[in-house]
Structures are given as C-alpha cells and as structure tokens.
Amino acid sequence: MNSGEIARLAGVSVRTLRHYHQVGVLPEPHRRGNGYREYTVGDLILLLRIRRLTELGLSLEEIPPLLSSEESGDVLQRLDDELAAQIALLTARRETIARLRATGARPDAPPDFAAFTTPGVTPAAARQDGDLMILLHHLLDEDGRDAMAGYLAAFARPGVLDTVTDLTNRFAALDAATPPAEIDRLAADALAAIPAVGDRIPRLDAPRVGELFAAYRDLAFNDAQRAFLDRVADGYGDGHGDGYGDGYGDGLGAG
C-alpha cells in the first residue's frame, strides 16, 4: 500500500503518518525504487492500534510501551482517573455557566454574587459594580464570600431592590456639577437604607482588600463620589469599617 491508501483505510491524514514516523511510534516502512513508501497489513494494524490508543486519550509518548509489552499495567486505571478529573472540571464550568445564564449576569461575573442584579441601574454603574464584585470575590476566602453573598442577597428583597437601584443611580450621577446638598441627601438616604439590607454587614478583612478598594476609589470615582463615600464611611463609625472604612464605603456606594 502507498501512503494515501493506508491513510484512507485507517482514516488518518498522510501528515499524521509522517508525524508518527517522526516521533517513532510507527516505523518507517520499506521504500520502493521511486522513493514511495510501501506499507503492509502489519503497518495498517499497528496504525489502527495507535489510533485506538490515542482516541482513548493517550499521548504518543505513552504508546510504544503499550504496543510491545504484554502488560498494560495500570494505564487504564490512570486514564480513567484523568478522564474523571477532566469531566469534573468541565461539569463545574457548565454549572457556573448555568448559574450565570439563570441570573443573566455578564459572563465574567462571579455567580456567587450574581443572584443580586439591579436591572434598573445604568450600564456604567452596573459595570463598576460588577468590577468591584470580581475583585472582592477573588480576594475573599470562603467565609468572606458566603457573608458577602448573603449580604447581597438581602438587596434582592422586594422593596429594598428599588431603593438600592435608586441610590446606585444617584451615586453614578454624582459629578462636579452636583450641588453639595444632593451629596448630603444621598449620604443620609444611604445610611438610612443600610439597616434594611441586612442586619450584619460582612467584615471584609482579607489582606489587601482595604488598600485595593481605596485605590479603586481613587481610580474610578470622581470628587463628588469620593465625598459621598467619605460621608458614608464617617456615618458608619469605626465599629464596622475598622481601618478600611472608605474602601468599604465603595462597595456600598457602587453596590
């Protein structure tokens, strides 16, 4: 058989044949006078064996010992374990995707925090909000995430959601043209609303959180918004914020 014929019979490309020769899983066959390779049924069977093994998920490097020796050892056990692990990974991805699709959240959102979405919020505010959630989710540990998820879930309570949406949009609208009185009113309204969204606000005491939140505040918000955040942090007092009160305020203001 020529290259083309054995390739067709085995259902592989000629390039695949060449590759198998190069890496040594399939020996180079005899050449005819014109340089053409001349394959035998033995080569075809060997090729089919190699294909069966690659289709099980084995690498070409793992194959030669399996072709020659009588004992396959624990290869199948090992392969099965690997496959189980891969399937578990892919299944976890599907679960994440299912949760994202159920909440309609953006694809890069942490689904743990996505139960809470405010449909009435401006796109820009929603984006900042989502960004902060991603940062927070990554920095927190299990406990911190659970606490935060519970806190955000409280926002979704009927009645509360409208208030939060309103506060968020008013926050997003703050800029240099905003009269100081509106900042005061917004701060007062925000502080008044806080008891409604949950009795206990989670402590975000993971390392770096406060510092990074402060940096985000300086990066993403304007003077009016920062003034509001300071006002809210002050209104809170030290009992909660504990050193990163302003970073904390960010989460509130944008969330």
Partner DNA sequence: TTGCTCCTCACGTCACGTGAGGTGGC
Q: Considering only residues 145-164, where is the footprint of a second copy by CB under 8 A?
A: none
E strand intervals along 26-145: 30-31, 37-38
Residue selected from 4, 32, 208, 222 as contacting a second copy according to rule CB under 8 A: 208
Q: How far apart are CA 224 and CA 179, in angstroms?
A: 9
Q: Are 113 and 148 in contact (CB under 8 A)?
A: yes
CB-neighbour burial class of residue 94 (10 A; exposed 0-12, middle 13-18, buried 19+)? exposed
Residues 140, 204 contacting (CB under 8 angstroms): yes
> Which region, judged by CB under 8 A, interacts with a second copy, from 4-12, 20-28, 147-155, 177-185?
4-12
Instruction: Measure the CA–CA gap between 127 and 118, rounded to whole angstroms.
Output: 11
Nearer of residues 171 and 213 to a second copy, judged by Cβ: 213
89 binds DNA (CB under 7 A): no
Distance from C-alpha of 41 to C-alpha of 206, rounded to nearest angstrom: 66
* Interface with DNA, residue 108, by CB under 7 A: no
Q: Which stretch binds a second copy (CB under 8 A): 19-27, 37-45, 150-158, 198-206?
A: 37-45
Q: Are 206 and 141 in contact (CB under 8 A)?
A: yes
Applying CB under 8 A, which of residues 22, 36, 61, 76 lies at the interface with a second copy? 76
Q: Which does 131 bind (CB under 5 to 8 A by kind): DNA, a second copy, none?
A: a second copy
Residue 174 Cβ, how far from DNA at the closest point, in Å? 35
Is 42 a residue that touches a second copy (CB under 8 A)? Answer: yes
3-state DSSP helix/strand/coil % of the chain, to nearest 5: 70, 0, 30
Interacting residues toward a second copy by CB under 8 A: 9-11, 40-42, 44-45, 48-49, 52-53, 55-58, 66-67, 70, 72, 75-77, 79-80, 83-84, 86-87, 90-91, 93-94, 96-98, 100-101, 106-110, 123, 131, 134-135, 138-139, 208, 212, 215-216, 219-220
